[in-house]
Structure 1
Amino acid sequence: MAEQRATIPGRVFAVMKEEARASSNLIKSIISIYGNRIEALFDSRATHSFISKECVDRLKLELKELPIIIKVTTPSGLSSNTSRACQRVEIVFEDRVSVIDLICIFIKGIDVIVGTDWLTANNATLNYARKLVSLPMSLTRTTSTEQLRFLSVVQAKKLINQGYNAYIVVCTASSVYDNGI
Structure 2
Amino acid sequence: CRRATGTCFKCGQAGHLQKDCKKDTTASTSGQADKKPGVSGRVFAITEGHAAKTSGTITGTLFIYGHAVFVLFDTGATHSVISSIFASRVTTTPTLLENVLCISTPMQDSVRITHVYRNLPLQFNDKIRASNALPLDMCEFDIILGMDWLTEHHATIECRSYRVIFGDIHAPEFIYHGSLPGKSMQIISALQARTLLSHGCEGFLATIHDTTSDVPSIHDQPIFSEFLDVFPDELPGIPSVREVEFKIELIPGAEP
Aligned counterparts of 1:60 and 1:76: Cα–Cα separation in 2: 28
For 1:101 and 1:85, how far apart are their aligned partners in 2?
7
**What's the offset of the Cα at 1:134?**
1.9
Q: Is residue 119 from structure 1 mapped to residue 150 from structure 2 by the alignment?
A: yes
Structure 1 pair 76–104 and aligned structure 2 pair: CA distance change class (3 A): closer
Task: Report the residue type matching 1:70 in the other structure.
Answer: L
Alignment partner of 2:95 out of 64, 72, 86: 64
Aligned to 1:148: none
Counterpart of 1:91?
Answer: 122
In the other structure, the counterpart of 1:11 is 42
Give, in angstroms, the shift of residue 61 of structure 1.
Answer: 3.6
Q: Cα gap change, 1:31/1:80 in structure 2, threshold over 3 Å: closer, same or farther?
A: same
The alignment's TM-score, normalised by the length of structure 1, stands at 0.68
Confirm or deny that 1:36 pairs with 2:67: yes
Q: Secondary structure at the match of 1:55?
A: helix
Which residue in 1 is equivalent to 2:109? 78
Confirm whether residue 55 of structure 1 aligns to residue 76 of structure 2: no
Contact 1:88-1:101 within 8 A present in 2 as well: yes
Larger Rg: 2
TM-score, structure 2 length as denominator?
0.49
Tell me what 1:25 maps to.
56
Q: What is the RMSD computed on CA atoms of the aligned residues?
A: 2.5
SS in 2 for 1:46: coil
Q: Aligned equivalents of 1:105 and 1:77: distance in 2?
A: 12
Maintained 8 Å contact 2:35/2:100: no
Structure 2: gaps (5+ residues)? 1-32, 178-256
State the structure with bigger RCO (CA 8 A, min sep 6), 1 or 2. Answer: 1
CA distance in 1, matches of 2:141, 2:44: 12
Q: Tell me, yes or no, if the aligned pair for 1:11 and 1:73 is still in contact at 8 Å.
A: yes
Instruction: Name the structure with the higher strand share.
Output: 1
Aligned residues: 141
- Give 1:114 shift: 0.3
Structure 1 residue ranges without an equivalent (≥5): 142-158, 163-181
- C-alpha distance in structure 2 between counterparts of 1:65 and 1:121, whole Å: 21
Instruction: Spell out, residue by residue over 1:111-135, the C-alpha distance to the aligned partner (whole angstroms, 9 max, x if none).
Output: 1000111101111110111221121
